[in-house]
Structures are given as C-alpha cells and as structure tokens.
Chains A and B, each alone.
Chain A
Amino acid sequence: DGGITQSPKYLFRKEGQNVTLSCEQNLNHDAMYWYRQDPGQGLRLIYYSQIVNDFQKGDIAEGYSVSREKKESFPLTVTSAQKNPTAFYLCASSIDSQEYSYEQYFGPGTRLTVT
C-alpha cells in the first residue's frame, strides 16, 4: 500500500521537552511538507523540503526544526522554544514540478499535547 505514515497518533509531553514527530512516505515523492492545524484556522505551513538535504521555512517555522536525510523521511522536532505546541500536526508529500501544481497527499496526523 502506498501512502504516508505518521507516528505516534497521540503524543503527550511536559513543557520544556523537545519532541520529534515521525513522517514516512513510500510514494517516491520529492517534496514533503509539515503543517500545523488549530481549530478554526485551517492548516499553516511549518517547513517544506523539495529534495533530500534541503528544506525551507514556511509561515510559522519558529520553534520547530526538521531534517531530510532520506527521500522517504521528513521528521519534525518541536522544541521547547515553541510557545504553543499543543496542536494537530499533519505531514504531506507531493510530486515536485516546475510547471504544474500537483496535489498533496496527507498522512493521518499526530495530535501533540504539551502540559
């Protein structure tokens, strides 16, 4: 089955701790993305990567970090510097093209709760 997996589904952390969310895809997509979803605000882009070993900040990158060492993997670390980390986090991937806007495919999400 081709798709995107995110783990864990639910994650609980104490304030001040860093936490890493996993995202893996077997769709052979070059581009991968991390979004944050809060009630009533739609999805906001945190980081994206168009190719291995390269990534760019999105609209709300402060307090987050990523790596892209393999094409199929794009983990997100929520650091203690992120002021409001409790949210639903979604990973996505797509074909990357200079000429065409391809749709993004989403994983099932990780709900992070920080207390």
Chain B
Amino acid sequence: AQSVTQLDSHVSVSEGTPVLLRCNYSSSYSPSLFWYVQHPNKGLQLLLKYTSAATLVKGINGFEAEFKKSETSFHLTKPSAHMSDAAEYFCVVSDRWGGGNKLTFGTGTQLKVEL
C-alpha cells in the first residue's frame, strides 16, 4: 500500500526567502511522485513530477523537488518566495494498480507568504 505524509500542515515565509515543503512517501513499487498546487476554490495544477528519470526535478514557477530514495522523501523547494505562491500544496504518489493510475494524496500544506 502506498501513503504520503506531508510533515507540515502550515508553512509561513517572508517574500523573497526560500520555501521548503516536506513530503515523505511509502510505496511498494517504484513510485511516480507529483506536487500539485491549489489556489482557493480552484482545481489542482501540476507543479512537477518524478518518474524515475533525474532525481532533481524542475517544475513551473521556479519550484523544484529532489527524489531521495534512501530517505523516502520528495521535498519541494523554491529559492525565493513570491506573494503569488500563497496556496495549498499537495504531494502525491502514484502506483500502477489494476491497469489504472491510483493517486494517493497527502493532506496538504498551506503556504502563507508575508511581506
């Protein structure tokens, strides 16, 4: 069975400072991992994905994440936060199951960006 743990439910940073959102996963197979972002009352938008190619994955809006198998982690980072980054972020793991993609979502991290 697969699972995802987002270690912080809320993170607050100042504009221009680095962002770190932490995610640990558990999977029986070689997983695919994703980060999605959700702004209030909107759908989810894909930020980046890891699918067993390069362990350092670059995404949209300056975000990146590093897959560390030994630590079972997939933390999301950004060097400099912008006000528009304030949103909820979901770490997601995917296993193949029955021929379909089963996504397991973390409970989300709310990112607040202050002036």
Contacts and interface: CB of A to CB of B under 8 A. Distances in A.
Q: Which of A6, A98, A101 has the most CB of B within 10 A?
A: A101
Interface in B86-115: 90, 94-96, 98-103, 105-108
A48 B46 CA distance: 19
Interface residues of B, number: 27
Contact of B101 (A6, A31, A108): A31
Contacts of B44: 43, 90, 92, 106
Interface bracket on A: 20 to 34
Interface in A39-60: 40-45, 48, 50, 56
Given A96-B99, A104-B103, A42 B108 contact: yes
A101 B95 contact: yes
A114 B107 CA distance: 24
Given A43-B90, A96-B99, A101-B32, A90 B43 contact: yes
Contacts, number: 61
Interface of A: 4, 6, 31, 40-45, 48, 50, 56, 88, 90, 92, 94, 96, 98, 100-109, 111
Interface of B: 9, 31-32, 34, 36, 41-46, 49, 51, 90, 94-96, 98-103, 105-108
10 contacts: A40-B108, A42-B105, A43-B103, A48-B100, A88-B41, A92-B44, A94-B101, A101-B51, A103-B34, A109-B43
